[in-house]
Structure 1
Amino acid sequence: MEYVTHLQKEDPSVATTSVHGLSYTYPVQYYDFHVYYYAHNKKSTEESDALRAKLLHDFPEDSANGSILVKKLPDTKIIGPHPTQFWEADVRRPEVFVKVLSWFQLHHGNLSVLIHPQTGDDLTDHTKSALWLGEKVQLLVDIFPKNVEKAIPEFGVKGGLRIKPEDFDSHKTIIN
């Protein structure tokens, strides 16, 4: 995935530390928003591109400091469990999550948006604990391995470590 926005190298904690002392209920560490579109459909692709541009425009400070991490795949690539193309926005700070959630509720248009927590249990996060805006898309959940130790991808670090939920808050993110 290509990162459109990035954590600040000098101080990644700006994007990961609540300015109001808020936190999610354990084991939730952050949230992913997956915006689905169809690359073979010009109207769908244009709507998706416009929505991503509007998100960046409407949240310039949060996008610039990495509080909203936007990532996208090449239009020809599909990665499971997602059955079609998507781009995503990841949010660690609860006060930013509330703003982004309500923004997507008002602006997702014809696009489906999967919103799920990151707890280390990928199957449950993407299914039973997920929220949907628009039409629910059937996920390819067979790809999730069974009986694996719970681990959460490091927030905002391409190819980053997978961290145990209980160690997530004490982990120091270092951007090279």
Structure 2
Amino acid sequence: MEYVTHLDKADPSRATTSKHGLKFTSPVKYYDFHVYYFAHQPASLEESDELRDKLLSDFPHDCADGSILVKKLPDTKVIGPHPTQFWEADVLRPEVFIKVLSWFQLNHGNLSVLIHPQTGNDVLDHFQHALWLGDKLPLFDVFGASDGAIPEFGVKRGKRIKTEDFDNHKTVL
């Protein structure tokens, strides 16, 4: 995945620390919004691109400080457990989550959106803890016999990314 927005390098805690003292219910760390589209259908791709641009323009401050981390696929490949192409918005603060959730409810159009918490167990998060807007699409269990955990921000082998490396990092699953 390629990052479209980034954490504030000077103060990355701005993206994760609630301005109102709010916290997600443990063990939720943050939420992912997966916006599904069909890359080989021009209307679907255009709607998806327009929705991502609208998110960026409607939430300029939250995107600028990294409270909304927007990522997109670098090509048309499908990455499981997802059934088609998607772009993603990771929402790191509770007060931003509620704004983004209601925004997606009103703006997703013909696109399906999977919304799930990040608790450390991606099998449960994707398959049992998920919310859907639009049509619910089938997900594929690509996790196998592992514990179902994908490292935070999708970094292979659980490697942690330093804030200064976010701009140059590409997620590898």
TM-score (norm 1): 0.87
Counterparts of 1:17 and 1:162 in 2: how far apart (Å)?
23
Matched to 1:159, the amino acid is V
Q: Percent identity over the alignment?
A: 66
Match of 1:167 in 2: none
Alpha carbons of 1:174 and 1:135: their partners in 2 closer, same or farther (altered >3 Å)? same
Match of 1:175 in 2: 163
Counterparts of 1:95 and 1:108 in 2: how far apart (Å)?
20
Q: Which has the higher helix share?
A: 2
Most deviating of 48-57 and 67-76 = 67-76
Deviation at 1:148, TM superposition (A): 2.4
Deviation at 1:146, TM superposition (A): 2.5
Alignment of 1:27-106 (within 5 A): 27-106=27-106
User: Does the Cα contact within 8 Å between 1:119 and 1:152 map onto a contact in 2?
Assistant: no
Match of 1:146 in 2: 145
Runs of 4+ in 1 over 4 A off after TM superposition: 149-152
User: Does the Cα contact within 8 Å between 1:36 and 1:87 map onto a contact in 2?
Assistant: yes
Counterparts of 1:118 and 1:6 in 2: how far apart (Å)?
18
Match of 1:21 in 2: 21
Alpha carbons of 1:138 and 1:149: their partners in 2 closer, same or farther (altered >3 Å)? closer
Counterparts of 2:41 and 2:125 in 1: how far apart (Å)?
29
Matched to 1:77, the amino acid is K
User: Does the Cα contact within 8 Å between 1:118 and 1:152 map onto a contact in 2?
Assistant: no
Counterparts of 1:149 and 1:79 in 2: how far apart (Å)?
15
Match of 1:4 in 2: 4
For structure 2, the residue ranges without an aligned partner over 5 or more in a row are 165-173
Match of 2:116 in 1: 116
Instruction: Give the RMSD, CA atoms, in angstroms.
Output: 2.0
TM-score (norm 2): 0.88
SS at match of 1:15: helix
2:155 counterpart of 1:159:
yes
For structure 1, the residue ranges without an aligned partner over 5 or more in a row are 164-170
Aligned residue pairs total 164
Deviation at 1:160, TM superposition (A): 7.6
Residues 15-47 of structure 1 deviation map (CA, whole Å, 9 limit, x = unaligned): 010011111111111000000000000000000
Counterparts of 2:41 and 2:120 in 1: how far apart (Å)?
34
